[in-house]
């Protein structure tokens, strides 16, 4: 049933497309009329009605666009040539389609607009280049960012236009916010190596994970060859209130007893008895907790006016835990859980202050990295 409809469906669609083209022409939609007539002529090149509509609509479509182009040329918008180029390209597309259909080519005298497109493209690039150069003359980040967009626009269309490659890099450097990570102030020279490692890892990770094209993080020694005194923002950090090794020991004593672990034979006079053996043990479990804590202040300073742009405080803490123990009595009385605290009979060697300092700064590092990444995201 469906297959029997198909031979009648195609002519119906052609007829509808012709009616649609005619309606577009009647309503003054000359461009739509041209495109719909061409669409039908591709399928049915000798359709007389479509050729008639194309012959009537094409000159009107060209007149419409030429009037719009004349109006645009009189507009003072510096980027008007981009719209003009778009108009010419639409007219050229109509010319290309007409040339591809013999009957359409014979019906209308279409002309190419390739020369006009070329001239408009030159005007487009010239306008963008001049706009970029004017913005660069402002010598500030905001204008340089806009200039960068203009130069990037040009290079996507013609990568050899004038000295645009050089100007793009000039705009990029001018638009980039250089953020200097200053040497971190330390609570004691004892932790100097720890702090240097903290600083180096922070700078390295900020540089590695940075996806912002116009933000660059640098340290006092940096791979961008930017003198540290010329950065735009300075991130100043200071560790303070560090308390290392607040020690607390706890002892727990457990009495264990189990019966029926074995039996023994007892003789009383002439009588012999079998009795259960009861075993006992005393378990001593020790826990040592060494609490350490510290803080870091972070300030972002604008180098231009020495204004504080932002201030944050981050806290860090760490609790080192050790267990040891011993027992007296019969080992058969012990519970399974008792052996956990007796893996070590004597207290373990305590961590050095430098090791505790590193543990305390781990959460501070995470908070600092997260804050700086969020603060400069989409800056």
252-265 pLDDT tens trace: 998 888 876 666 66
- Domains of the chain, by residue range, sit at 2-112, 122-175, 189-254+284-375
Give the mean pLDDT of the chain.
88
At residue 9 the predicted structure's pLDDT band, cuts being 50, 70 and 90, is very low
At residue 7 the predicted structure's pLDDT band, cuts being 50, 70 and 90, is low
State both tokens at 246. Answer: 């607040």
Structurally, at CATH architecture level, domain 2-112 sits in Alpha Horseshoe (1.25)
- What is the per-residue pLDDT for 24? 74
Q: CA nearest 123: which of 91, 86, 68, 163?
A: 86
State both tokens at 49. Answer: 């009605």
- Evaluate whether 53 touches 21 at the Cβ level (below 8 Å): yes
- CATH number listed for the domain at residues 189-254+284-375: 3.30.160
Residue 268 has pLDDT above 80, yes or no: no
State both tokens at 349. Answer: 């060697």
- Evaluate whether 211 touches 375 at the Cβ level (below 8 Å): no
3-class state of residue 304 by DSSP: coil
What is the average per-residue pLDDT within 342-371? 91
- Evaluate whether 24 touches 11 at the Cβ level (below 8 Å): no
- What is the per-residue pLDDT for 335? 81
Residue 286 has pLDDT above 50, yes or no: yes
- What is the per-residue pLDDT for 344? 76
Could you read off the pLDDT of 206-250 as tens digits, one per residue?
A: 999 998 989 999 987 665 566 667 789 999 999 999 898 788 999
- CA–centroid distance for 308 within its chain: 27
């Amino acid at each position: 049933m469906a297959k029997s409809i198909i031979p009648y469906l195609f002519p119906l669609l052609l007829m509808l497309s012709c009616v649609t083209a005619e309606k577009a022409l009647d309503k003054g939609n000359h461009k739509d009329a041209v495109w719909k007539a061409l669409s039908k002529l591709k399928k049915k090149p000798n359709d007389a009605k479509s050729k008639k509509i194309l012959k009537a609509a094409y000159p009107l479509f060209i007149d419409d666009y030429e009037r719009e182009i004349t109006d645009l040329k009189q507009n003072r918008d510096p980027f008007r040539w981009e719209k003009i180029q778009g108009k010419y390209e639409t007219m050229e597309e109509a010319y290309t389609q007409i040339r591809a259909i013999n009957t359409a080519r014979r019906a209308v005298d279409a002309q190419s607009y390739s020369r006009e497109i070329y001239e408009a493209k030159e005007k487009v690039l010239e306008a963008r280049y001049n706009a970029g150069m004017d913005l660069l003359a402002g010598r500030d980040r905001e204008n340089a960012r806009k200039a960068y967009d203009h130069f990037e626009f040009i290079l996507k269309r013609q990568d050899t236009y004038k000295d645009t490659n050089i100007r793009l890099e000039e705009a990029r450097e001018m638009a980039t916010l250089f953020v200097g990570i200053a040497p971190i102030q330390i609570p004691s020279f004892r932790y100097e190596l720890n702090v240097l490692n903290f600083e180096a890892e922070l700078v390295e990770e900020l540089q590695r994970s940075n996806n912002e094209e116009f933000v660059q993080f640098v340290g006092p020694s940096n791979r961008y060859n930017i003198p540290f005194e010329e950065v735009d923002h300075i991130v100043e950090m200071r560790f303070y209130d560090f308390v290392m090794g607040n020690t607390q020991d706890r002892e727990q004593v457990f009495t264990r007893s189990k019966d029926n672990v074995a039996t023994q034979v007892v003789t009383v006079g002439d009588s012999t008895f079998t009795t259960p053996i009861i075993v006992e043990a005393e378990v001593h479990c020790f826990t040592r907790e060494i609490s350490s804590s510290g803080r870091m202040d972070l300030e972002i300073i604008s180098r231009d006016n020495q204004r504080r742009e932002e201030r944050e405080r981050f806290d860090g803490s760490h609790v080192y835990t050790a267990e040891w123990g011993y027992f007296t009595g019969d080992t058969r009385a012990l519970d399974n859980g008792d052996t956990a605290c007796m893996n070590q009979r004597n207290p373990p060697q305590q961590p050095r202050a430098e090791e505790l300092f590193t543990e305390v700064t781990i959460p501070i590092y995470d908070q600092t990295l997260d804050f700086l990444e969020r603060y400069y995201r989409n800056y």
